[in-house]
Structure 1
Amino acid sequence: MASISALGIGSGLDLNGLLDQLNEAERGKLEPVERQIESQQVRISAYGELQGALAAFEGAVGRLAEPSLFQSLSANVTGDALQAAADADAAPGQYQVEVEQLASAGSLASQRIDVELDEALTDSDSTLTLAFGNAPDGKPDAIHISVAAGSTLEEVRDAINAHEGANVSASVVNDGEGYRLALMSNDTGEAASLTGMTFEEGFFADGVIVSDAEDEGAGAVVQPGRDAAFSVNGIAIVSPTNQVEGAIQGVTLDLQQPGSATLGVEQDTLAVREAVSGFVEAYNALKGTIGELTAFDAESGRAGELLGDSAVRTIESRLRNDLSAMVGDPAQGELAMLSELGISLSLDGTLSLDPAELDMAIANDMGAVERFFAGGEDVPGMAGRLAETSSQLLGSNGALTNAIGGAENRIESLSQRYVRMEQGIAQTIERYRVQFGQLDGMIAQMNQTSDYLTQQFAAMDAQLGRD
């Protein structure tokens, strides 16, 4: 930098300023390359936007290509007694359900214990036994919980809650006159209901009084657990839980309250209508994205980032061919064109949907609608064909991927060219700097020679004047 600042000292010329101007002029050669790199980056961003819209369309047609969509069932309930959900194993039908009682968890409480919470209940290691009256197969009918010597009522509660196999929740309750140990089963139903709570002999410390108890340590049943009781079309059913599976094949019942309800299991036409509407909306959104990216404003002269792009033309052409092609055989009474489902292609290239015509096609023959969109085992339907095309366009060798790869390659090539040009400019400026230094030195020497000659001539003039 010192050499740059020293330029012009000898000659008196603004060589530093001239060198800066030359440098600016040389770097101006980089601007076209910078603009090309920026243009390719903008194209990649535009390709990404188009990629997102096409992926959304692929998802929409992929849903329509699934046969399970047209075979799905819905469970519709009239009444507040229950809620229901149907899966693929359900069969269409009507069911009358009467809920008599809901399943509930059993609860149990000890007799009142006239002690403070921080007083010890036992002076030796003891055992608390919880009994279950009708334990299901594989479950013990009694649980034995170890209680350490010196344990307070709260510590007994904690020991119960910490026991993995107890399957109960313990708490301490103050009834206004004293404390009780209260237990509730974690599961509903008679089989999970607690029927007894007994203490090993010597559990209570001396001086502790158990009120209102015939036997020291006896437990009092507050509420037994109950099974849910209901009927389906007059058939009585009992369940330990309020969520019932298997009473009606493929249907899960969630009992809410005693009462009557009518359950209808039928084809889920709403899901099909929503899927078709989603397909139309996704395609129109894709067309809208393409329109924005390829638009041209004559007034401003502004062109879309992908105007005239070959990848965009490929996408539009392939999707348009799929949409306009026939699917089924009209001679066999099959749906063959989108227009038969109330879907038409507008002049602007978007799709429009007539919901009433679609509803009619679904009501007349859901199977025909399924074959049109989802196709059969060997022949893809309209949605399957569009899904395959979208997948190819988005794939590793698809039009979009290749277009993005091409733009990235051009950016890499331009970046390398930019670096080479920068290096060339740096070399040119350095050459100018050397030449300017030489010029500065030459002019400085010439100035010195001029000054010397001027002095000599002046001396000669003075000498001649004295003579």
Structure 2
Amino acid sequence: MATISSLGIGSGLDLGGLLDQLESAEREKLTPVLRQQQSYETKISAFGYLESALDKVKDAAEALSEAEDFAGVKTNLSGEALTITAGEETPVGNYEIEVTQRAKSYSIATQGIADKTEQLGGGTIGFTLGSGDTFSVTLDDADSSLEDLRDAINEADAGVVASIVNDGSGTPYRLVFSSADTGTEAAISAIDFGTGGFGDVLSLDSATEISAQNAELTVNGIAIQSQNNQVEDAIQGVTLNLEETGTATLEVTRDTAGIEKKLNTFVDTYNNLQELMSDLTGYDSASGSGGVLQGNATVRGVESRLRGLIGGSLDSDVFSSLADLGMTLELDGTLTLDEEKVEDLVANNLSDLSKLFAGVGDDSEDGFADRIESALSAMTEEDGLLENATSGLEASIESLDRRYESIESQIASTVARYRTQFSQLDSLIAQMNSTSSYLTQQFDALAAQLKQ
């Protein structure tokens, strides 16, 4: 039987359209699979949002889990004699600072020579520093110019910096020796050019000598010396950067606002988490639809664990519950913060507050914030509660992918069978139409002969 390249040509029927309709009907079998996949993917995304919210609560708890988190300070510095850098261990107090002398480095130049590239005969130059350290550089005659000597000293990196200065005279090139650091210990106490070579050409110009000096200051009347202008631990936890001579006043106070902000951040992130879980698991009676994770056992476990921690009793001799801190647990699971009560506790009971959140001693699970952080880590870390939930969903999606491919293969086979059957039908009808036309012609011819 002859084959038809385009369905319907032989029969005149819309077999191509019919085949398309049949294929569309077959592909409806994929709709439940796609819908189920989309449902699982939506749940995975929801767990991603949940993990992000849990991480934010964990970070907020971590910011309250160390005693140092309650020791923050803020500083107020008046005067231009210095700038400061203060750490959290800086004690609260007022400090009167007077800078009477800044530290300087030692410097001296040689007498000038006419050509900085001329070979000077080589030799050894020795240096002695104020600390008692010594070093020397040796150059041979072929590489003994002023430039060579400068480079050799700098490459030694032993506490002396060399440079060449042009003073504009007839013998303009001078080699300047400077101590790499400020203070008397870093000063150059002796320079020996040796005999012959360098010793015959180079000599020091005492008029260019700049003596090293230490920084001198007083803090609340106590005299302090420093080898450099960055003075550490003259005040515990504070680095003083001396800018000029003069006076300055430093006021260090407890950063209560910073502590209050950390407590506020914890409450805000916790409430955001509760609102998210409510959206994911709630039911909207108006629309008749539930949240993506409504009834999910994993989310119920998270909610139960958090309510136990937040609503339970506290391991403290001072505070029995979070309500004593001005944090009231509402029926919907969120916390309401009494800011006035928190401000009063931070101002007047900071030590007990620190012990509650950060704990005492070296026990990493001692404080309330540590327990929150540990519980949330168990939920969000690798192989944790959320990863196990999403892994199950991902496995289900992979299974649906395989099912989808199998159904598509079945649909392709069914459509191919329909196409073969329709092609055969088309050919058969075309053949029948051809036979019918032939017979009609024959009958017409026979009828014409009979009439004659």
Residue-by-residue CA offset, 1:140-197 (whole Å, 9 max, x unaligned): 2x432536536554443333322232x3333332334333223332211111123455
Give the distance between the partners of 2:283 and 2:141, measured in 1 at CA.
85
Distance 2:214 2:168 in 1: 32
Secondary structure of residue in 2 paired with 1:188: coil
> What's the TM-score, normalizing by structure 2?
0.83
The correspondence of residues 193-272 of structure 1 with structure 2, limited to 5 A, is 193-197=187-191, 199-201=193-195, 203=197, 216-220=202-206, 221-248=208-235, 251-263=238-250, 269-272=256-259
- Hey, what's the Cα distance between the residues in 1 that align with 2:181 and 2:80? 24
Determine if the alignment matches structure 1 residue 428 to structure 2 residue 414: yes
**1:143: which partner in 2?**
136
The reply to whether residue 439 of structure 1 matches residue 425 of structure 2 is yes
Match of 1:103 in 2: 103
Deviation at 1:422, TM superposition (A): 0.5
Secondary structure in 2 matching 1:441? helix
8 A Cα contact 1:87 1:251, kept in partner: no
Alignment of 1:148-187 (within 5 A): 149=142, 152-165=145-158, 167-177=159-169, 178-187=172-181
| Equivalence for 2:43 | 43
User: What is the DSSP-based 3-state SS (H/G/I as helix, E as strand, rest coil) of the residue aligned with 2:63?
Assistant: helix
For 1:297 and 1:176, the matched residues in 2 are separated by 90
Q: Which whole-Å CA distance do the structure 2 matches of 1:108 and 1:353 have between them? A: 67
Residue 64 of structure 1: CA displacement?
A: 1.4
Displacement of 1:410: 2.4
Offset of 1:266 from its aligned partner? 6.3
Stretch deviating more after TM superposition (364-373 or 296-305): 296-305
- 2:371 counterpart residue number: 385
CA distance in 1, matches of 2:4, 2:408: 19
Question: 1:278 & 1:65 partners in 2: Cα distance?
Answer: 14
Q: Any conservation in 1 of the 2:122–2:138 contact (CA below 8 Å)?
A: no
Change (3 A) 1:288 1:225: farther
User: Could you tell me how far 1:383 is from its partner in structure 2?
Assistant: 2.0
1:452 aligns with 2:449: no
Q: Choose which of 349, 354, 358 in structure 2 pairs with 1:365.
A: 349
Alpha-carbon separation, structure 2, partners of 1:306 and 1:145: 79
When residues 297 and 216 of structure 1 are mapped into structure 2, their CA distance, relative to the original with a 3 A threshold, is same
Pairing 1:60-75 to 2, within 5 Å after superposition: 60-71=60-71
| Equivalent-residue separation in structure 1 for 2:141 and 2:279 (angstroms) | 77
The separation in 1 between residues aligned to 2:349 and 2:186, in whole angstroms, is 49
**Which sits farther off after the overlay, 310-319 or 54-63?**
310-319
Rounded to whole Å, the distance in 2 between the matches of 1:32 and 1:113 is: 95
The superposition leaves residues 12-63 of structure 1 with CA deviations (integer Å, 9 ceiling, x where unpaired) of 3332332222222211321232232123222212211221111111111122
Could you tell me which amino acid in structure 1 is paired with residue 173 of structure 2? Y
Residues 316-351 of structure 1: CA deviation (Å, up to 9, x unaligned)? 34323322222145xx5x122223323334576543
Aligned to 1:209: none
Which of 407, 424, 434 is matched with 2:393 structurally?
A: 407
**Aligned residue number for residue 13 of structure 1:** 13
Take 2:445 and 2:291, find their aligned partners in 1: how far apart are those partners? Answer: 79
Supply the AA of the counterpart residue of 1:156.
L
Q: Is the 8 A contact 1:110 1:197 kept in 2?
A: no
Residue in structure 2 matched with residue 126 of structure 1 by the alignment: 123
CA change 1:376–1:170 in 2 (3 A) is: closer
* TM value normalised by structure 1: 0.81
Q: What code does the residue aligned with 1:422 have? A: E
User: Displacement of 1:432 after TM fit?
Assistant: 0.6
- The question of 1:311 aligning with 2:308 is answered no
What letter is aligned with 1:38?
A: Q
- Tell me which residue corresponds to 2:273: 286
1:27 counterpart letter in structure 2: R
Amino acid at match of 2:27: R
Identical amino acids, percent of aligned pairs: 43
Select 2:380's aligned residue among 394, 397, 402: 394
Counting matched residue pairs gives 444
Does the 8 Å contact 1:4/1:16 carry over to 2? no
Encode CA deviations 1:260-286: one digit per residue, 9 max, x unaligned.
445566655454333212212322332
Give 1:435 shift. 1.2
Q: 1:145 to 1:191 in 2, by over 3 A?
A: farther
State the partner residue of 2:405.
419
1:337 correspondence with 2:321: yes
Distance 2:280 2:150 in 1: 69
**Residue 64 of structure 1: SS of its match in structure 2?**
coil
Supply the distance in 2 between the matched residues of 1:323 and 1:148 (Cα, whole angstroms): 82
Flag structure 2 segments of 5+ consecutive residues without an equivalent: none
* CA displacement 1:213-242 (0-9 Å, x = unmatched): xx8522444322221222344443322122
After superposing the two structures, state which structure 1 stretch, 152-161 or 417-426, moved more: 152-161
Letter in 2 for 1:444: A
Amino acid of the residue matched to residue 246 of structure 2? Answer: G
Bigger Cα displacement from structure 2, 145-154 vs 188-197? 145-154
CA distance in 1, matches of 2:88, 2:310: 32
Q: Over the residues paired in the alignment, what is the CA RMSD in angstroms? A: 3.5
Deviations 1:377-403 (A, max 9, x none): 677443233223212322456442233
CA contact (8 A) 1:101 1:230 kept: yes
Per-residue Cα deviation, 1:76-118 (whole angstroms, up to 9, x for no partner): 6554444253465x66665544332222222222223333x5x
1:240-299 superposed Cα distances (whole Å, 9 cap, x missing partner): 122334545555444343334455666554543332122123223323444554577777
Distance 2:202 2:145 in 1: 17
